[in-house]
Amino acid sequence: MSETDLAYFDRRSDVAGLIITGAAYINESAFVLEGQISVSRDEDVIGLKKLAQAAKKSGNKAILQLFHAGREAVYERLGRIVAPSAIEFPFLKHVPEEITEEEIQTTIGDFGRAARRAIEAGFDGVEIHGANHYLLQQFFSAYSNRRTDQWGGTLEKRMAFPLAVLQEVQRAVKESGKEGAIVGYRISPEEIHGENVGYRIDESLQLIDKIISEKVDYIHVSLAAGYDAAPEGSEKSFGKLVKEQAAGRCPVIIVSNIFTADDALDALNHGDMVALARAALIEPDFTRKIRENRAQEIHTAIEHNLADLHIPPKAIDMFNMEGSIWPPLPGLENE
């Protein structure tokens, strides 16, 4: 855990009541980005304790996000990349290998071991990253999962791996003995690649129903098009549809394109909780300024204050990279 990481989270410890880290990889085959947080080994707990302390400095709660990249892992580093099926994808330079039954069972166990390490390090809970085209979503997607065994084929079988991971994480968290430990689940509500459809909202709502039945503490809806984005042809947003499915059984977190206090207030029409992503990078004092009736002072773009923001240089490089899949960070182009 570098001093850059700690400074970044220390500066944002008061940006919200719940701090969710970036994706922490649960084993070596899960790795996707240089500088990524690791929760893959017991010795990682030493650095993770420092991270939890920095993120919780202001009396808030901190969550470690558990992650496996699947087919998106770094080929140049690992050599062997696993996915539900060995399929050629037009957006990848390599063809992933089909993950074996033994590797599936090991990966499920690794999620549980990662959850145990997170609680041991002092985090208040974990979030399972089942979104953004990574391994759990790859198993749920009919586009990327062509298996004919217990882990693929029907909708029920495509749900099996995400649910097995969730159950193992719940078991590990319960065994940790930490009272009130949180388990959340992040999900992309649809996966559509032009004519290639992984799943639509009707199927993801069925998975969400089963996830909630496993007693998760929240559902985190991953969106890029805006917090009020809606499925094609629907009068209701993704957030509202997920809230209806949740039916009060757990809160729903909504995200994307929230830069002002008014944005955050409006987003509460689509979710129970509001996640700040780029806004947290730009304005670490977002909620404090609201509490102090200074909402008009919230920065909505970086304004020559990079030194104060402690954004890791590698993150800046990712935002500035030509063809970056990351959404633009307003103001960064002027720095």
Quick: pLDDT tens for 279-316.
Answer: 999 999 999 999 999 999 999 999 888 999 999 888 89
Q: What pLDDT does 334 receive? A: 83
Which positions ≥6 away from 292 have C-beta within 8 Å? Answer: none
The pTM assigned to this predicted structure is 0.96
Closest by CA to 225, choosing from 247, 257, 184, is: 257
Q: What is the dihedral of CA 24, 25, 26, 27, to 10 degrees?
A: -160
Q: What is the mean pLDDT of residues 239-247?
A: 98
Number of domain units in the chain = 1
Q: What pLDDT does 75 receive? A: 66
Assess contact for 239 and 270: CB atoms under 8 A.
yes
pLDDT exceeding 90 applies to what percent of the chain? 85
Q: 130 pLDDT exceeds 70?
A: yes
Q: What pLDDT does 6 receive? A: 96
The tens digit of pLDDT for each residue in 160-213 reads 999 999 999 999 999 999 999 999 999 999 999 888 999 999 999 999 999 999
Give bridge partners of residue 218 from the DSSP assignment.
184
Assign 267 a pLDDT band (cuts: 50, 70, 90): very high
297 exposure class (CB count in 10 Å sphere: 0-12, 13-18, 19+) = exposed
Q: 147 pLDDT exceeds 90?
A: yes
Give bridge partners of residue 134 from the DSSP assignment.
none
Domain extent, residue 65, equals: 3-334
Q: What pLDDT does 304 receive? A: 82
Beta-carbon count within 10 A of 209 CB: 13
Query: CA neighbours within 13 Å on the CB side: how many for 170?
Result: 15
Q: What pLDDT does 35 receive? A: 84
Q: What is the mean pLDDT of residues 102-109?
A: 97
Q: What pLDDT does 76 receive? A: 65
Q: What pLDDT does 169 receive? A: 98
Closest by CA to 135, choosing from 198, 208, 83, 79, is: 83
**pLDDT averaged over every residue in the chain:** 95
Q: What is the mean pLDDT of residues 202-228?
A: 97
| CATH number of the domain to which 199 belongs | 3.20.20.70
Q: What is the mean pLDDT of residues 83-102?
A: 93
